[in-house]
Amino acid sequence: MSLLQGTIITFSILPFFPFLIVFVVCRYILKMEKKKSLLTSMDITTFFLIFSVAALFNVLFTSRFGFYLILLLLLLALGLIGGAQNRIKGKVDGKRLCRAVWRLTFMAMTLAYTLLTVVGIFKNIFNSM
């Protein structure tokens, strides 16, 4: 296994590591302001969270539908937020729409990762008894 492949797998299993690494690099090495560093960290970590939550879902529920479920929910969110944006402003700003859905995905995937991790721990405890 190559170093790059191992790093990507590690970041997908433990998605809070890329968040911390990107935040520290942006904040202290690139000298970005705190808010921009935080948002950049969220944007990059979302990618790893999607794969991590999909894998947790697949393991817990013995399925292969996790990634497709997340993709379906992302498309639904794009449609709903895009429709609301069209009703309110009369046009859809694609950049703003994608940014809003991506940041909402970060929040949802963080919650799902935490919930599925706790459920997985309890499931393994009860299965081993």
- Report whether 72 contacts 89 (CB < 8 A): no
Q: How many angstroms separate the CA atoms of 26 and 113, rounded?
A: 24
Q: Residue 1 pLDDT more than 80? A: no
76 to each of 70, 82, 103, 122, how far by Cα in Å?
10, 10, 15, 31
Structure tokens given for 112:
């799902």
The string of pLDDT tens digits covering residues 9-49 is 788 888 889 999 999 999 999 999 999 999 999 999 999 99
The string of pLDDT tens digits covering residues 72-124 is 999 999 999 999 999 999 999 999 999 999 999 999 999 999 999 999 999 99
pTM of the model: 0.89
* Packing angle, helices 16-24 and 3-13, rounded to 10: 110
